[in-house]
Structure 1
Amino acid sequence: MTALPEYQRLESTGLWRSAPEGQRREVLVVFGDATLVISDTRTMSALAHWSLPAIVRLNPGKRPALYAPGADAGEELEIGDDTMIAAIGKVHRLIEARRPHPGRLRQGLLAAFVAVLLALLLFWLPGALVAHTAKILPAAKRDDIGSRVLADLGRLTGAPCSTPEGEAALARLATRVLGAGRGALLVLPTGLDAPRSLPGGRIVLPRTFAESDAPPEVLAGHLLAARLRADQADPVRELLDWAGLATALRLLTTGELSDGAVHGYAETFLTAPLAPVRAEALVGAFAEAGVPSTPYAYAIDPSGEATLALIEADPFRSGAATEPVLSDGDWVAIQGICSG
């Protein structure tokens, strides 16, 4: 061990005894390189050499300080000098700091493990639980949730428009564009800016889209885009993200939603920004549905610049014959569904 530079010439007096029953005597204490030298104050002859690392404080925090040369030693030294006490204490703190501490490594690893576990619980688990809940819901429950969302939408949009002819035409449009059994179409009288997918597969349309003078192929394109958005982001998952972890957990464990779980979601549903749809995916959907994509592309951007991919990759650009999207009668029925 190397002496501390600031204490190389440190001396003080003290009271020392060589055995527990021995007489205490005044001594000179010298802070050495590796030892504490205890000397007779009259003759200056050394009485003891104590190893600094081995010295034990017998009364921590008290004054005067009592020391022993080891845990089981019989000798005892009393020192009242604050500077000498501080020097011995500093030596012990340095030794303790340099000594290996296996327990600290274990504690550090345990703390790191707990921190990672808490991070998983706080940040990963809620999202994973919500995603799992949305994924395993049966179709009937998803449709029930969609009905609840539709009822909440009614506060802001009014009830869906309805005429027997219009509903029948919407059903044929859904089958023609989306495929049999892949969802129903509803027209809302106000408050909606674009077709949006409800949980369960139904798509709600704005009245302005139903009454548009654009050809039916444009409406078909909007329906295909809405379906692709629902494939990209599950409407049930979006609802559960809004409703919170407690709602998702209750739905997972009991299969039920509380009466107020969906109340207030309409505002979010109606104002959420529409996610972009990749042109390649949209072209594929047009091809599968047997609908030309060019009319929709020009309806989105009359210049055609922003939708050039849909125009150039139109699966029916060459004019290949396709089944009409709607008959004239069905198109008229849809256009009048909100005025019936």
Structure 2
Amino acid sequence: MTALPQYDRLESLGLWRPSRGDQRREVIVSFGDATLVVADGAGRPLSHWSLPAVKRLNPDEHPAIFAPDVDATETLEIDDTAMIEAIGLVRDTLIRAAPRRGRLRQALTALVLLGVLGLGAAVGPDLLRNQTVASIDDQRRAEIGATVLGYLQARTGPVCRSAPGRSALQRLQTRLFGVDGLAGQVVVLPAALPGPLTLPGGLIVVDRAVMARYDDPSVIAGDIVAATARGTDPLDDLLHHAGLAATVTLLSTGALPDGVLPDYAAFLLTTDPAPPTEDALLAAFAAARLPSAPYAVLRSARDQNGATLITNDPMQDRTIEPVLTDAEWLQLQAICDG
């Protein structure tokens, strides 16, 4: 549900340009709770923008051109007058903060929450969390993940978006998972992270420091693959951290309590993510046709066992397709410089 309920189901066509050097493509634009969702014709999310941060690049001109931040390397052109007005209204409403609920609605919501909390105590928090995770659709997951990413950026600086770097990152993602192999998106933040992060909606977050520290692109590729090998649902991870009350609120109202997502973002920035098992890692590296030995160096630097990745490298004695060309690797390393 958006900040203004009359726009919950509003959609329009748009022309989306992922970066300055890319061709524009037709997309479907819709609203999340606090995000603008850009999806392809099949409804698969391509990008998620935090609405309070959205900038209009050509005020008073038509069609309107929007960007997710001041860098404006990614743009969205919209010709639909209703959608243009809605984006401005919802954005302004979110910035001013949503209006306070009425007392009757607050009381009814509290009664519902108390009832579901009682159910949670009876069936157990794990079962209730599993039920909640199963009830959340892909679009809502994408909205939650994009919002967490927004809070991460508030602490680390904005997602790195140089056009050549983004193109190289997309080629790396395709090399590892195929054209349709990864449902989400890989993004790079400028500040160091405890490890690769996975967010609801298929977002994988890595940091620039790994690319600056290691000369082999197989290391950052290994960080991305490792993030997919954990075998846990990122939404389940979030709710496990947030606790029973937040889980009940999401299940009963479709929204999370204020403070849950910024708190989770702060937690992610200060806590080492649970590493995947070595067997899961090796299987993921084999599926990606990626050597695991180079990643052992980074794993050891994080006080995790890397010996097995060297001795049982699934690509040992095999011909390996390059992860990136030298030129692409230099572009990726400079993704935060544009």
Alignment of 1:1-340 (within 5 A): 121-122=120-121, 124-179=123-178, 180=180, 181-229=182-230, 231=231, 233-258=232-257, 260-301=259-300, 306-318=305-317, 320-340=318-338
Contact 1:157 1:192 in 2 (8 A): no
Shift of 1:122: 2.9
Deviations 1:243-292 (A, max 9, x none): 33333233223433455441322211112223232222211111110111
Residue 24 (structure 1) aligns with: none
Q: Are the structure 2 counterparts of residues 123 and 272 from structure 1 closer, same or farther at C-alpha, using a change threshold of 3 Å?
A: farther
How far apart in 2 are the matches of 1:139 and 1:195? 21
How far apart in 2 are the matches of 1:298 and 1:121? 44
Q: Counterpart of 2:159 in structure 1: which amino acid?
A: P
Identity of aligned residues (%): 40
How far apart in 1 are the matches of 2:305 and 2:259? 42
How far apart in 2 are the matches of 1:339 and 1:324? 24
Contact 1:187 1:210 in 2 (8 A): no
Deviations 1:23-55 (A, max 9, x none): xxxxxxxxxxxxxxxxxxxxxxxxxxxxxxxxx
What secondary structure is seen at the aligned counterpart in 2 of 1:263?
A: helix
Q: Are the structure 2 counterparts of residues 203 and 255 from structure 1 closer, same or farther at C-alpha, using a change threshold of 3 Å?
A: same
Shift of 1:157: 0.9
RMSD: 2.5
Q: Flag the structure with more relative contact order, 1 or 2, with Cα contacts below 8 A and sequence separation at least 6.
A: 2
Q: Are the structure 2 counterparts of residues 259 and 124 from structure 1 closer, same or farther at C-alpha, using a change threshold of 3 Å?
A: same
Q: Are the structure 2 counterparts of residues 119 and 265 from structure 1 closer, same or farther at C-alpha, using a change threshold of 3 Å?
A: closer
Contact 1:173 1:325 in 2 (8 A): yes
How far apart in 2 are the matches of 1:273 and 1:194? 6
Q: Are the structure 2 counterparts of residues 299 and 268 from structure 1 closer, same or farther at C-alpha, using a change threshold of 3 Å?
A: closer
Q: Are the structure 2 counterparts of residues 188 and 298 from structure 1 closer, same or farther at C-alpha, using a change threshold of 3 Å?
A: closer
Q: Counterpart of 1:235 in structure 2: which amino acid?
A: P
Contact 2:194 2:272 in 1 (8 A): no
How far apart in 1 are the matches of 2:187 and 2:118? 43
How far apart in 1 are the matches of 2:297 and 2:192? 25
Q: Are the structure 2 counterparts of residues 119 and 183 from structure 1 closer, same or farther at C-alpha, using a change threshold of 3 Å?
A: closer
Moved more, 248-257 or 263-272: 248-257
Deviations 1:211-230 (A, max 9, x none): 2332111111111111112x
Q: Counterpart of 1:248 in structure 2: which amino acid?
A: T
What secondary structure is seen at the aligned counterpart in 2 of 1:211?
A: helix
Deviations 1:62-83 (A, max 9, x none): xxxxxxxxxxxxxxxxxxxxxx
Contact 1:133 1:248 in 2 (8 A): yes
Calculate the TM-score normalised by the size of structure 1: 0.58
Q: Counterpart of 1:252 in structure 2: which amino acid?
A: L
Contact 2:196 2:273 in 1 (8 A): no
Structure 2: gaps (5+ residues):
1-116
Shift of 1:150: 0.5
Q: Counterpart of 1:137 in structure 2: which amino acid?
A: I
Contact 2:184 2:202 in 1 (8 A): yes
How far apart in 2 are the matches of 1:281 and 1:260? 34
What secondary structure is seen at the aligned counterpart in 2 of 1:292?
A: coil
What secondary structure is seen at the aligned counterpart in 1 of 2:191?
A: coil
Shift of 1:206: 1.3
Residue 76 (structure 1) aligns with: none
Contact 2:160 2:335 in 1 (8 A): yes
Contact 1:156 1:191 in 2 (8 A): no
Q: Counterpart of 2:326 in structure 1: which amino acid?
A: D
Q: Are the structure 2 counterparts of residues 272 and 132 from structure 1 closer, same or farther at C-alpha, using a change threshold of 3 Å?
A: farther
What secondary structure is seen at the aligned counterpart in 1 of 2:262?
A: coil
Q: Counterpart of 1:207 in structure 2: which amino acid?
A: R
How far apart in 1 are the matches of 2:227 and 2:241? 20
Shift of 1:160: 0.8
Structure 1: gaps (5+ residues):
1-117
Q: Are the structure 2 counterparts of residues 274 and 121 from structure 1 closer, same or farther at C-alpha, using a change threshold of 3 Å?
A: closer
Deviations 1:9-34 (A, max 9, x none): xxxxxxxxxxxxxxxxxxxxxxxxxx
